[in-house]
């Protein structure tokens, strides 16, 4: 096995996710596409495959096992402020049962995700160019990774969350101030600390839903 695929598989296993050969190949191909098209689409500040593997692929894979626990069934997932497709593309590779829409306000980033969907043959993935506030529809899971403050993320997307759906907000260190300023009607039910292999940085997922009250 080549070293990158081994690193990816070991990292995924440490995060509680087993990758098939096909999934590992798709993820590495996605990382390659990101670097290849970076100059055109301005997708990432990272410039080398090893950094993309830890900071993007494994960092996004960290959300897969928690998502499987919180939403195991079929559904539609909206990844807000997805940029080059993180974590949406990674989730689409690992969860073919989810329809994943990667939303970005920058047209060329949404176009890149469309290109990834075509090249990796992911029928459950699409890129959407719009602002979250103007989008319509209903999604069982709404995710984001370093997109905005929690209050802005929840307020901006609450009209899109399906009844009984969940928010998955990937953050760095514990966003204590943001958690203290949550909008009314939003219930955070779990803040999950993550340890990403090869990444010396704090990570967590903030899980929330609409307050039933």
Residues whose CB is less than 8 angstroms from the CB of residue 189 and which lie 6 or more positions away in sequence, other chains included: 207, 208, 209
Per-residue pLDDT, averaged over 3-27, amounts to 96
Residue 14 pLDDT > 60, yes or no?
A: yes
pLDDT at 1: 47
The predicted model scores a pTM of: 0.96
Residues whose CB is less than 8 angstroms from the CB of residue 76 and which lie 6 or more positions away in sequence, other chains included: 98, 99, 100, 101, 137, 138, 139, 140, 141, 162
CATH architecture of 62-210: 3-Layer(aba) Sandwich (3.40)
For residue 47, what are its two tokens? 């410039």
Give pLDDT tens digits for 149-176.
Answer: 999 999 999 999 999 999 999 999 999 9
Give pLDDT tens digits for 18-52.
Answer: 999 999 999 999 999 999 999 888 888 888 999 99
């Amino acid at each position: 096995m080549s070293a990158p695929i081994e690193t990816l598989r070991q990292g995924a296993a440490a995060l509680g996710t087993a990758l098939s050969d096909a999934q590992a190949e798709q993820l590495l191909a996605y990382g390659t596409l990101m670097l290849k098209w970076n100059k055109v689409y301005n997708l990432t500040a990272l410039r080398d495959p090893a950094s993309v593997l830890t900071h993007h692929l494994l960092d996004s894979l960290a959300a897969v096992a928690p998502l499987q626990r919180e939403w195991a069934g079929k559904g539609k997932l909206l990844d807000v402020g997805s940029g080059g497709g993180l974590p949406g593309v990674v989730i689409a590779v690992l969860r073919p049962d989810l329809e994943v829409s990667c939303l970005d306000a920058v047209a060329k980033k949404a176009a890149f995700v469309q290109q990834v969907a075509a090249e990796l043959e992911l029928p459950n993935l699409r890129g959407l160019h719009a602002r979250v506030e103007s989008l319509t529809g209903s999604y069982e899971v709404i995710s984001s990774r370093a997109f905005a403050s929690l209050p802005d993320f929840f307020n901006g997307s609450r009209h899109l969350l399906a009844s009984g759906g969940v928010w998955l907000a990937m953050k760095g260190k514990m966003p204590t101030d943001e958690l203290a300023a949550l909008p009314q009607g939003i219930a955070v039910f779990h803040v999950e600390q993550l340890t990403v292999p090869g990444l010396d940085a704090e990570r967590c997922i903030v899980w929330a839903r609409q307050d039933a009250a």
